[in-house]
Amino acid sequence: MRALLGVVGATALLVLTGTGPATAAEGDNGFTIKDSRIIESSGLAASRQHPGIYWTHNDQDSGSYLYAVDSATGETVARITLSGVGQQRDVEAVAIGPDNQIYVGDIGDNDGVTWPYVWIYQLPEPKNLTDQTIRAKQYVVKYSDGSRDAESMIVHPRTGRVYIIDKQEDGGHLYEGPAQLSTSGANVFKPVAPVDLWATDAAFSPDGQQLAVRGYFGGIWYDWNGGDIKREGRLDVPLQGQGESVTYSVDGTKLMYGSEGSESSVEAEDAPGDSGSKSPSGSGSSAQSDGDDSSGGDNGNVKVGAFAVAVAAAVVLGFRRLLRRR
């Protein structure tokens, strides 16, 4: 309920301040997820091995599944069943590391931050996109400072090191995992830098030089700076009913933003800095204040009715998740 109230409160703030979503860039290559089985898309990762394919998953599912969605059609071209792992709890993130290894973050903890440990799964991305079962490695993850709720897991594209960002309304932290994850014993993640956002997902640029972090209504991008992250500016995050995911396009020119719900949309915006054709930092506007910067762009022409729809969508989705977890 606390998370739901935070979402609705943030939306109400948008109405009062008159800030709104960025205009979709020309050449928008977003898509709609059409698979009726995908109703809670909580993570998104662009395949390098299969250009145009995006991997996603449900927040909670009847089994451990990954879906390969063709962005040209919005249709699922393969469903992967993970074997060798236990019953999933709250899968919130997916990322692709070196050598086309897929990492899945079963790291959510919405029920009071009580799990003594969470899990990360690793499996090779299949060369052939057909429905199949793939055996995955399962890693036990603990935090050095106690249980965390988290929805953001990232894997550095060069080093393969795994990081998690916890989800805190007043801002969280970037947690660094061991240089190599181990299937024997717990892998302890330690906080290494603050993140100024109530984070719902994050992504590395393909070259590993940028870190994009999104929340429900805003985002921030950082210079990776060897892990000593340096905040560079805000992201132009589109207004979505329940913004849950983000990934860079394979060429690094776009950030793809996903949300939950049936037939949910994935919307594209130009990536910041040198990765895209424009930089939203500095003078750019965001759909939400990003935590410690309350100034917004001049979007006074945004109609209040659009925000009312967004509020309604957030309430419906939030209550659905709340009732499910009782």
253 — pLDDT class (breaks 50, 70, 90): very high
113 — pLDDT class (breaks 50, 70, 90): low
- Tokens in use for 284? 């750019």
Q: Which residue has the tokens 């792992």?
A: 85
Q: pTM of the entire structure?
A: 0.79
268, 254 Cβ separation under 8 angstroms:
yes
In Å, what is the CA distance from 93 to each residue of 107, 187, 195? 8, 18, 17
For the chain, the first-to-last Cα distance in angstroms comes to: 11
Of residues 144 and 26, more confidence is placed in: 144
Does the pLDDT of residue 161 top 90, yes or no? yes
> Interhelix angle for 2-17 vs 304-325, to 10°?
180
112 — pLDDT class (breaks 50, 70, 90): low
pLDDT digits (tens, 9 = 90+) for 24-74: 333 248 999 999 999 999 999 999 999 999 999 998 777 899 999 999 999
Does the pLDDT of residue 309 top 80, yes or no? no
Does the pLDDT of residue 303 top 60, yes or no? no
132, 78 Cβ separation under 8 angstroms:
yes
40, 60 Cβ separation under 8 angstroms:
yes
276 — pLDDT class (breaks 50, 70, 90): very low
